[in-house]
Amino acid sequence: MQLYNYFRSSASYRVRIALALKGLDYEYKPVHLVKREQLAESYAAVSASRLVPLLRDGDATLTQSMAIIEYLDETHPEPPLLPKEALGRARVRALAQDMACEIHPLNNLRVLRYLVHDLKVSEDDKNRWYRHWVETGLEVVERQMAEHPATGRFCHGDTPGLADCVLVPQVFNAQRFNCRLDHVPTVMRVYEACMQLDAFDKTQPAACPDAE
Amino acid sequence: MQLYNYFRSSASYRVRIALALKGLDYEYKPVHLVKREQLAESYAAVSASRLVPLLRDGDATLTQSMAIIEYLDETHPEPPLLPKEALGRARVRALAQDMACEIHPLNNLRVLRYLVHDLKVSEDDKNRWYRHWVETGLEVVERQMAEHPATGRFCHGDTPGLADCVLVPQVFNAQRFNCRLDHVPTVMRVYEACMQLDAFDKTQPAACPDAE
């Protein structure tokens, strides 16, 4: 397998964690988003969406981090990244989507670029925007996790899964932009538990081959 | 089952379509987003996330439209909304996420509100922002669908599924904001095919009990 990704892309980090949890080897193919390599002709030939991450598995090309992780879970079932029962699966997917659909899309590079270049938003306002969506969005995640009986050492029970693959990169982003995190103690407790595992620690942005 | 939703919320519309495709009855519970009823104490008691849609199934509370649709597909397998093989499932999920993670989050009500109230963006710039993400985002969907052998009468093959549940509400939004759509002929062809089915037509915003 080959993973096209960028060290700082949190959607890429999600997939690196899942591959590591599954114990799967892959070739690391860096795509430098700040240099806009994702828009180059060479990458367009690989990727119709021109987004990272992208996973190649034999002849197949897979995009969208959560879809890739579910694919890995279906094709390499052990260890499972989703629970067995439908309600648990729905909870884990909803937690992942609370971050992947409600927080992260507002804060990715091309959106920040549009704010600054097209809407002429100041650096301060851009940072406020970033923190606003992270802080309010993680508060939603906290409310769903704090008093839920299914929350364990990790987002759902005592083994890491899809929601943890999304939570950890989101907290990394939050810390990089100095977001408030003292209002989300359960999120941070789970983050700390994850970072004690190699699958999360050894795939973090600073540990990537293309890290700067 | 009870569906808490808002006629104009495109994430709500996705779930209404899925319930209709499955032939499932439910009680329609309107939550008026423009009047901010989702933030009222009465709704907070139902929903930790304070977002719509929310589905109650017996004692269970489900959130996030894509997670709800996967839950419905697992608990009521016929007709299936995802293909059987892992690669096809990944393709359908990725198409759904190309819209649900890359387009829609940038254009929902609370984001447009933040642009206008907090960033003091003009009405014109707000509308340009809206159209920018729809038009560039649907172009990505078009590229993934146009020449792909798995695209059929619908997003994937000749029966409607998860990606179609997301595509139709996205096109509704695009039309409401006068977005360009002539560059996405495959998307529009699939949209037209869907709208010939009752499950898409009879659940559309204008047909909802709370439509204005």
pLDDT in tens, A32-57: 887 888 778 888 777 877 888 999 99
pLDDT of residue B147: 83
Q: What is the mean pLDDT of residues A95-99?
A: 98
CATH annotation of B2-79: 3.40.30.10
DSSP state of A85: S
Q: Tell whether A77 is within 8 A of chain B (Cβ).
A: no
User: How do residues A149-199 score in pLDDT, each as one tens digit?
Assistant: 999 999 999 999 999 999 999 999 999 999 999 999 999 999 999 999 999
Q: What percent of chain A has pLDDT over 90?
A: 88
Tokens 């779930």 belong to residue: B15
Average pLDDT taken over every residue of chain B:
95
- Cβ neighbors of A65 (< 8 A, separation 6 or more) are A11, A12, A14, A15, A53, A100, A166
pLDDT at A137 over 80: yes
Nearest-CA distance from B140 to chain A in Å?
Answer: 5
Among the listed residues A77, A89, A68, the one whose alpha carbon sits nearest the alpha carbon of residue A22: A77
Structure confidence by residue, pLDDT tens digits, B132-175: 999 999 999 999 999 899 999 999 999 999 999 999 999 999 99
ipTM above threshold 0.90? yes
* A93 CA: distance to closest CA in chain B (Å): 5
Is pLDDT at A105 greater than 90 in this prediction?
A: yes
Conformation bin of residue A160: beta by default, left when phi > 0, alpha when psi is -120 to 50 = beta
d(CA A162, CA A17): 9
Q: What is the rounded end-to-end Cα distance, in angstroms, of chain B?
A: 24
User: Phi and psi of A27, rounded to 5°?
Assistant: -90, 130
pLDDT at B61: 94
- The yes/no answer on whether domain B86-200 falls in CATH 1.20.1050.10 is yes
Say how far apart CA B179 and CA B164 lie, in whole Å.
Answer: 19
User: Would you list the DSSP string of B45-110?
Assistant: TT-SS--S-EEEETTEEEESHHHHHHHHHHHS-SS-SS-SSHHHHHHHHHHHHHHHTTTGGGSSHH
Contact across the interface for A87 and B101, Cβ inside 8 Å = no
Q: Provide, as residue numbers in chain B, all residues whose Cβ is less than 8 Å from the Cβ of A14.
A: none
pLDDT at res. B112: 96
Would the CATH topology of B2-79 be identical to that of B86-200? no
Determine the residue of chain A that is closest to B125 in CA distance.
Answer: A119
For residue B32, pLDDT over 80 is answered with yes
Domain ranges of chain A: 2-79, 86-200
Q: Nearest by CB to A93, which of B66, B114, B144?
A: B66
* Of A71, A91, A102, Cβ closest to residue B86: A71
Query: A12 at the B interface (CB within 8 A)?
Result: no
* Residue A168 CB coordination number (10 Å): 26
* pLDDT per residue as tens digits for the range B84-130: 999 999 999 999 999 999 999 999 989 999 999 999 999 999 999 99
**Nearest chain A Cα distance for residue B192, angstroms:** 23
Q: pLDDT at position B47, please?
A: 81
Cα B47 from Cα B123, distance rounded (Å): 32
